[in-house]
Chains A and B, each alone.
Chain A
């Protein structure tokens, strides 16, 4: 299989990121991204499960706890080994039916980062959850945009630019480096 220049660049970045993740270090470049972009709030993250896991790994520092809600199809091994997510500080509520809003509200109070799958909340509930997460300095990550409530996840916004600044998020879609 012919590997073109773009793929080689993506491979190199991926290797570097993997080495960083496995050795516990992080490049100065990616650190600066975190400092600039990642303040608590409500963010919507594209790319489904992988996007949520990437963003969760990005926002969680060593003393934080995260929870994945309504995301049953998680490859935990890859999340830990490839994305560097500390799964010993992550719990999951794979399925929610009744009492979803109350449960998520409770989780926002206790966990530093809450990643939500496809949960169908009404606008008032979304606003209420957003207000609570802002008040308590929490990251609320949603897999779909909450119109008027959420903003795009800042690191992912840099995708597609000439200067790709988030090495572990640079090849999220379709296996094509951007």
Chain B
């Protein structure tokens, strides 16, 4: 049984299927005095709700309904009923609805997910102290004192699962293990992992399972290493352990160290080197108090940026923050959010928004209701420390981290859309073959570069105008009935130019091409792209023609004809001009 299989048996469970990995009794005195790692490592309890984006909709989605959550243009989460009808994550909405005509497709809403998770956290809070939230659907806390109170770890788990099912109707999984990483992974399998079985449990996991709780930045870094390891035939924790930590860390640097720590049951994102006892915090008083979440967004952005600036200027890093919200009537809501990068203002702002939403949805304490508006926000970086200075054998990690930090800082200064990453993919022309996504956003599935692009523009220009200047192509027009006349040229419905170009008049100035009259010496090539002919108003992907022309006094130009009008799409480099002769 594993977490994925359990999803086929959705919510509303009143009895639990909680189980223990065979070994010594968790929570027994014998077990707690037999550490495997030379020092006493804390045990944690983790709460996980499978398919939380969907489970959070339990009130809106009738049981046994085929439902899915859509993110972007693809299906991101699938209910067991929908899965049984062949719906899979990654499908387009159209295809999913083709397979299952009564499929209920809902948009993803992280704010609503966090608000709904608050009710589960309240149950969790009633059993365990110091609850930290990783994201809506996943939280953890130290287990020792809670287990003593409940009698045993097993008993504690059963009580929490039953209470959550009774009060919220959600099906929660509980995992208990030594080290945070172990607990989070055990929660996926609804297991108590005794301390002496920790190594066995972790070594049996696939590497992909090991890294699933890493924060975005670390996950991206480790995913590259995983690809290499999988290609080398290293699939499980056991395979990785056989390599030895020395060779792994020396070759893969910080990413390798992250993997080895995960294999020992730690959660490396929490393992920064503690520098001092001093705290890093920011406080913002809202004047006037804010009674709607939307009105608090500016303040949220400001405190997030302030905390990030403070940490960076002190050369510190933190992977957990405490958010304290205080209302006008003195109500106080504290929550610790973890497994994040506190120097990333966008990640911090997201957590504050989730907490605000949770509070607003909590009913009587609502900040969105007039009686009790929000008056202050305080952020505290939990255990700030200096970053580990480990570089991989072939370099790169440290420089990547610095670049990421700089890009995030500029995003916080100018907006998320200001810093973009170019991505190449399939398409019929140089513009549609490139997409620019905001830094830090992982692009959606894109078309492959190989395949069905025959007939597309094969020569990309080095300058591609963001706003193509308008132009007019002039030359000797051909005609069978009349004598040739000089005039405006275009590509006919038959896919041919209706004359011989002589001049190109560019009407608008651009930094790479001044407005003016350019003599044309040669037409190199014509491409016809029928595009989305059924969408005539689609400026980028509608029917269009491309023409590459040579000038007597400059580089080649790529022209585009759209709806009978010419524009200069781009300018070829002189080097590419030469290449075209080859």
Contacts and interface: CB of A to CB of B under 8 A. Distances in A.
Interface of A: 1, 3, 7, 10-11, 14-15, 17-18, 48-50, 53, 62-65, 67, 72-83, 87, 90-96, 99, 102-103, 106-107, 109-112, 117-118, 168, 171-177
B30 interface: no
A87 B399 contact: no
Nearest to B556: A175
Contacts of B582: 11, 14-15
B400 A65 contact: yes
Nearest to B402: A110
A61 B556 CA distance: 30
B576 interface: yes
Contacts of B414: 93, 96, 99, 103
B540 to A, nearest CB: 15
Interface stretch (B346-354, B420-428, B475-483): B420-428
B512 interface: yes
B466 A76 contact: no
Contacts of A91: 403, 407, 419-422, 439
User: Top 8 A-B pairs ranked by shortest CB distance?
Assistant: A110-B406, A65-B403, A77-B460, A75-B464, A63-B395, A78-B460, A63-B396, A72-B466
Given A118-B511, A174-B574, A175-B554, A110 B405 contact: yes
Given A3-B581, A50-B462, A109-B402, A174 B430 contact: no
B573 A172 contact: yes
Contact of B424 (A65, A77, A111, A173): A77
A63 B577 CA distance: 31
A80 B460 CA distance: 10
Nearest to A14: B578
A103 B412 CA distance: 10
A82 B576 contact: yes
Main secondary structure, interface of B, reads: mixed
Contacts of B527: none
Which of A48, A75, A171, A176 has the most C-beta atoms of chain B within 10 angstroms of its own C-beta? A75
Contacts of B534: none
A49 to B, nearest CB: 5
A178 to B, nearest CB: 10
B399 A173 contact: no
Contacts of B328: none
B406 A75 contact: no
Contacts of B419: 91-93
B490 to A, nearest CB: 25
Given A75-B430, A174-B554, A175-B554, A111 B575 contact: no
A78 B576 contact: yes
B433 interface: yes
Contact of B577 (A49, A99, A175): A175
B323 to A, nearest CB: 26
Interface string B465-507: 1100000000000000000000000000000000000000000
Which of A17, A18, A50 has the most C-beta atoms of chain B within 10 angstroms of its own C-beta? A50
Nearest to A118: B511
B448 interface: no
A78 B573 contact: yes
B565 interface: no
B406 to A, nearest CB: 2
A171 B574 contact: yes
Interface string B511-545: 11000000000100000000000000000000000
Given A77-B434, A106-B413, 8 more contacts: A65-B403, A67-B403, A73-B570, A75-B461, A77-B424, A82-B460, A91-B421, A93-B418
A111 B439 CA distance: 14
A73 B575 contact: no
A174 B578 CA distance: 11
11 contacts: A48-B511, A49-B463, A62-B396, A65-B400, A73-B466, A82-B573, A83-B462, A83-B575, A92-B419, A92-B422, A106-B413
B409 interface: yes
Contacts of A112: 399, 403
A171 B420 contact: no
A172 B421 CA distance: 26
Contacts of B89: none
Interface in B542-579: 553-556, 570, 572-579
B4 interface: no
A109 B312 CA distance: 12
